[in-house]
Structure 1
Amino acid sequence: MSTFAVLAAEGGEDVNPLLPATYDIVWSAVCIAVIGFFFWKFVLPRFQTVLSERSEKIEGGIKRAEEAQAEAKQALEQYRAQLADARQEAAKIREDARTQGQQILAEMKTSAQAESDRIVASGHQQLAAQRQQIVTELRSELGRTAVELAEKVIGEQLSDDVKRAGTIDRFLDELDSVGAKSTSGK
């Protein structure tokens, strides 16, 4: 058997091996009380201050985070408002540009039409002037040719300028009247 069992049998007492002796319980209680007192007096207040500092930091951090989140929401709303304003302003600028473009186009059309009318009128004037010049040249040329033919037909020279001019004018008038009759008869 074991030594413990032998000793317990000799003493005749019933000893519970799970239960320590009374002096061990008392001295253990005194040690626990002293350790508990020091723990309660010195360690626990330090833990409390550390825990309160941490909780203040956490609460302050949460508060700062909430404030930052509120500021971020406010900045986001301002950004959205500015974006909406910018979009409205861009739409207004586009509309103004479109209106100005239409005005410029209308002015350019008007200017081009006026320039075209001016060019056409100038062309008509030049054409009329050239026509008049050609008619004058043709009359004088035709007059000279008629005089030369008349001289050849008559056989004498028509040297008198006054007679020549009168004959040429009368011949041209006859041609004009024949030309007028032929255009009105058609």
Structure 2
Amino acid sequence: MSAEVHAEGNNFLLPNGTFFVELIIFGIVLLVIWRFVLPPVQKAMRERHDMLQKQLDENREASEKFEAAKTKYAEELAEARAESNRIRDEARLEGQKILDEHRERAQAEISAVLRRGEEELAAQRERAMRELRESIPGLSTALAGRVVGEDVTAGDAHRATVDAFLAELGAEATGKEA
């Protein structure tokens, strides 16, 4: 084959005219691509890049806003907890004050009831002592008369003995109360 190529006068080292035509066509295709295809592709890529950059910036801004909101939420939550603790402590103090007031009132009522009871007991004891002083002389003379079998009249000595007995009985009653 190489003998045939040499025989026709074609030198394989020297290019023929088809090479130059192909080279010119290749240049024209490159120029068309460079002039008409590449700018819209570059424009689309630039728009896509700008859109991605915008989304990235928006995401970064949203992330910063989220962190700020998260921090604000944590601060407000801490404030709310502190406020609830303060309110709970105030409620406890108020409840303790109310309990103390009710205890004081109850204690005062108990003291008043006890005092009235003691006064009533003292009045009843005084009435009982007065009734005893009035009835013992007659009963003792009647009993003494039955035991002896004679009529025993109550004299001053007898009345002094009864009064001494009642005084001793009253002293024992007040000694037991104290």
Whole-Å Cα distance in 1 between the matches of residues 156 and 3 of structure 2? Answer: 180
Long gaps (5+) in structure 1: 159-166
| Paired position in structure 2 for 1:5 | 2
Q: Normalising by the residue count of structure 2, what TM-score does the alignment of the two structures yield?
A: 0.73
Q: CA RMSD in A?
A: 3.4
Partner of 1:110 in structure 2?
Answer: 104
Fraction of identical pairs, as percent: 28
Q: CA deviation at 1:10?
A: 4.4
Partner of 1:84: 78
Measured in 2, the distance between the counterparts of 1:179 and 1:144 equals 14
- 1:177 is aligned to 2:164: yes
Q: Aligned ranges for residues 15-164 of structure 1 at < 5 Å? A: 15-16=12-13, 21-149=15-143, 152=146, 153=148, 155=150
Q: Which protein has greater RCO, CA pairs closer than 8 Å, 6+ apart? A: 2
Contact 1:143–1:168, Cα closer than 8 Å, also in 2:
no
8 A contact 2:136–2:162 mirrored in 1: no
Residue aligning to 1:162: none
Whether the aligned pair in 2 keeps the contact of 1:139 and 1:172 (CA below 8 Å) is: no
- Distance in 2 separating the partners of 1:128 and 1:169: 29
